[in-house]
């Protein structure tokens, strides 16, 4: 019997990543590195779940414009072995994300509100969602409506079919702009099994500055969820039902570009966790994959022998 797929719903965009060689000055000019590729947090996670060798297929659901950027982004996704239900919009262009990368590899993102923000409930592939083994959402699908109603309905359909559910909070700045209490009330409508906050998002959601105190808050606020707190160079802190609190260290990879590292971590984690249910073991694979991504440019660098070796050594099998 074929295992049910991991479905990731949300943003599929065209990414423009830029890493200047020098400080950008008003009115000035500089050289640097620029990369154009398909992106979007939900799409990236599907790619990395597939690359990490999941026991089940990876499937993407989202919306693009009826344009060349959308065509290219969807083609790149499918070339990775991710199946997709991609709705095309004649009214809205494909979303574009500008990522500015500093010399430490940290990124600041400017997200254009394109077709990915316009997904509607009636456009969802109901049969796919009811047949999912797991549904992953990002908070980019919750920060405004649409696409919030579609994301919430997708969760209902997937849950009714027996799927587990995960969420990446997406952006501490967007949480602050929406309002912490408003954001938490939206999350109360999602029966989450796994929550993937990073350090900044954990502080924005919990109102706690200390990581251990933030984890205490999460365990009280979301008692039925496995909390997987991404801490950059400090690795990951995990706790949940049946899982004692444990910190898994990061790799020693030198940071070149942090773009997509959290999505790569999440995809690898879910691919492994859904296979055997051991969160600490899944995190060991995920930090290896995240470290590999951070040490390269772009959210989906071409897979190489080093990546394959890391996946093979930590429990997964490269696709």
Cis preceding-peptide flag for 319 (omega within 30 of 0): no
Alpha-carbon distance of 69 to 252, in angstroms, equals: 35
Q: Which residues contact 146 (CB under 8 A, 6 or more apart)?
A: 117, 118, 119, 120
Give 3-state DSSP helix, strand, coil % of the chain, rounded to 5.
40, 25, 35
186: its two tokens: 């939206």
Total number of residues shown for the chain: 319
Q: How far apart are the first and last CA of the chain?
A: 20
Structure tokens at 2: 């074929």
Work out whether the CA dihedral 195, 230, 263, 150 comes out positive or negative. positive
CA–CA separation, 85 and 157 (whole Å):
16
Q: Which residues contact 15 (CB under 8 A, 6 or more apart)?
A: 35, 36, 37, 38, 39, 40, 96, 97, 99, 259, 298, 299
Cα 309 from Cα 162, distance rounded (Å) = 34
Identify the residue whose tokens are 């590195």: 33
Q: In sequence order, what are the residues at sequence separation of 6 or more whose Cβ sits closer than 8 angstroms to the Cβ of residue 115?
A: 63, 64, 65, 70, 87, 88, 89, 92, 93, 94, 95
- Sequential DSSP letters for 92-121: SPPPEEEEEE-TTS-EEEEE---GGGG--G
Say if residues 196 and 227 touch (Cβ distance below 8 Å).
no
Alpha helix ranges (H) inside the chain:
41-51, 68-79, 126-130, 148-160, 172-178, 180-187, 199-206, 211-221, 261-276, 279-294, 305-313
What pTM did the predictor assign? 0.95
Please give the chain's pLDDT, 319 residues, in tens.
Answer: 358 999 999 999 999 999 999 988 899 999 999 989 999 999 999 999 999 975 569 999 999 999 999 999 999 999 999 999 999 999 999 999 998 998 888 888 898 889 999 999 999 999 999 999 999 999 999 999 999 999 999 999 999 999 999 999 999 999 999 999 999 999 999 999 999 999 999 999 999 999 999 999 999 999 999 999 999 999 999 999 999 999 999 999 999 999 999 999 999 999 999 999 999 999 999 999 999 999 999 999 999 999 999 999 997 655 5
Tell me the pairing of strands 194-195 and 226-230: parallel
């Amino acid at each position: 019997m074929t295992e049910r797929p991991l479905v990731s719903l949300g943003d599929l965009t065209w990414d423009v990543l830029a890493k200047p060689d020098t400080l950008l000055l008003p009115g000035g000019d500089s050289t640097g590195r620029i990369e154009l590729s398909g992106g979007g947090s939900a799409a990236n996670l599907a790619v990395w779940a597939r690359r990490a060798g999941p026991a089940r297929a990876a499937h993407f659901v989202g919306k693009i414009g009826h344009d060349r950027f959308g065509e290219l982004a969807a083609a790149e996704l499918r070339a990775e072995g991710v199946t997709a239900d991609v709705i095309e919009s004649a009214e809205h262009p494909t979303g574009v994300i500008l990522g500015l990368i500093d010399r430490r590899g940290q990124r600041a993102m400017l997200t254009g509100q394109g077709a990915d923000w316009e997904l509607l409930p009636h456009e969802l592939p109901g049969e796919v969602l009811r047949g999912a083994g797991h549904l992953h959402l990002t908070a980019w699908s919750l920060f405004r409506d649409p696409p919030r109603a579609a994301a919430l309905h997708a969760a209902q359909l997937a849950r009714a079919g027996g799927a587990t559910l995960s969420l990446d909070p997406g952006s501490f700045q967007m949480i602050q702009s929406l309002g912490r209490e408003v954001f938490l009330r939206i999350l109360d409508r999602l029966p989450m099994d796994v929550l993937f906050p990073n350090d900044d998002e954990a502080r924005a959601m919990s109102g706690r500055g200390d990581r251990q105190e933030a984890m205490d808050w999460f365990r009280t606020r979301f008692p039925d969820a496995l909390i997987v707190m991404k801490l950059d160079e400090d690795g990951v802190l995990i706790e949940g039902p049946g899982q004692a609190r444990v910190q898994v260290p990061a790799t020693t990879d030198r940071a070149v570009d942090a773009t997509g590292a959290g999505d790569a971590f999440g995809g690898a984690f879910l691919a492994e966790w859904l296979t055997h249910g051991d969160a600490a073991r899944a995190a060991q694979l995920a930090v290896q994959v995240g470290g590999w991504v951070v040490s390269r440019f772009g959210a989906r660098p071409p897979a190489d022998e080093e990546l394959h070796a890391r996946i093979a050594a930590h429990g997964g099998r490269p696709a």
